[in-house]
Structure 1
Amino acid sequence: MKRPDIDRPSTWKPYKNNMCNGCFGGCCTMPVEIRLSDLIRLGVTDEDEAAGSIKKLAKRLIKEGILTSYRAGTEFFMLSQKANRDCYYLDSKTRLCTVYEKRPDTCRQFPSIGPRPGFCPGTSASSVLK
């Protein structure tokens, strides 16, 4: 049986409750779209700044390296990824989320939402560390 490929959702495994045990954050290497409410929860902006110019806020967060883009049409921001594709908030040594309690809704709802709802890339240590 082929190992799941994060870039090919057709290879992903059906999600089961215990799949996260021993996982090395495969889902944390995919691009993450977030909303303004996520930025507030993450503490990178506050209600006052969010009530102002969203484009100005996005420009600041892009300059700081937290975001890569903002699409006004969908009101989605794209969270930055490290050079190795890891999420901006993923600890590269522990493979744990550094903002888990404040993580974006996209992360909270995965794998119920995403490229293949109900399925997981099931990334193991060997596939992440190759």
Structure 2
Amino acid sequence: MSKPDIDRPSTWKAYRSDMCNGCWGGCCTMPVEIKSSDLVRLGVATEDEVTGSVKKLAKRLKKEGIIESYRAGTEFFMLSQKANRDCRYLDSVTRLCTVYEKRPDTCRQFPSIGPRPGFCPGGKIENRK
């Protein structure tokens, strides 16, 4: 059986809750769209900032390297990634989320939402490219 390819959802495996044990965090290498409520939960923005000038907030967060972009039409912010595609909040050694209790809704709902709902690009740490 071939290894799942993060960029080809057709190769992903049907999700089972035990798949996360020992996984290399493939889902944490995909771009993550987040809402302003996620920014507040993460502690990188205040309620006042998200109810004020969202463009000003986006400019600050982009300058700080927290987001890549903001789309006013959808009100989604794109969370920045490390050079190796890892989420900015993924520990590169343990492969665990450093903000798990505060993680964005997109992460909380995966794999129910995403490129292929109900499927996961998972793989064990030792199988990482």
2: CA distance between counterparts of 1:118 and 1:7?
16
Superposition RMSD on alpha carbons, in Å?
A: 0.8
Once the two structures are superposed, the pairs formed by residues 14-33 of structure 1 within 5 Å of their partners are 14-33=14-33
Cα offset, 1:17, TM superposition:
1.3
Once the two structures are superposed, the pairs formed by residues 30-109 of structure 1 within 5 Å of their partners are 30-109=30-109
2: CA distance between counterparts of 1:67 and 1:48?
19
**One-letter code of the match for 1:89?**
Y
Cα offset, 1:69, TM superposition:
0.1
Q: Which residue of 1 aligns with 2:6?
A: 6
Cα offset, 1:79, TM superposition:
0.2
2: CA distance between counterparts of 1:86 and 1:43?
20
1:118 aligns with 2:118: yes
Deviation readout 1:73-102 (Å, 9 max, x if unpaired): 000000000000000100111111000000
TM-score by length of 2: 0.97
1: CA distance between counterparts of 2:76 and 2:107?
14
Q: Which runs of 4+ in 1 moved over 3 A?
A: none
> Unaligned 5+ residue runs, structure 2?
none
2: CA distance between counterparts of 1:79 and 1:66?
6
Cα offset, 1:49, TM superposition:
1.2
TM-score by length of 1: 0.97
> Unaligned 5+ residue runs, structure 1?
none
Cα offset, 1:62, TM superposition:
0.3
Count, aligned residues: 129
1: CA distance between counterparts of 2:99 and 2:17?
21
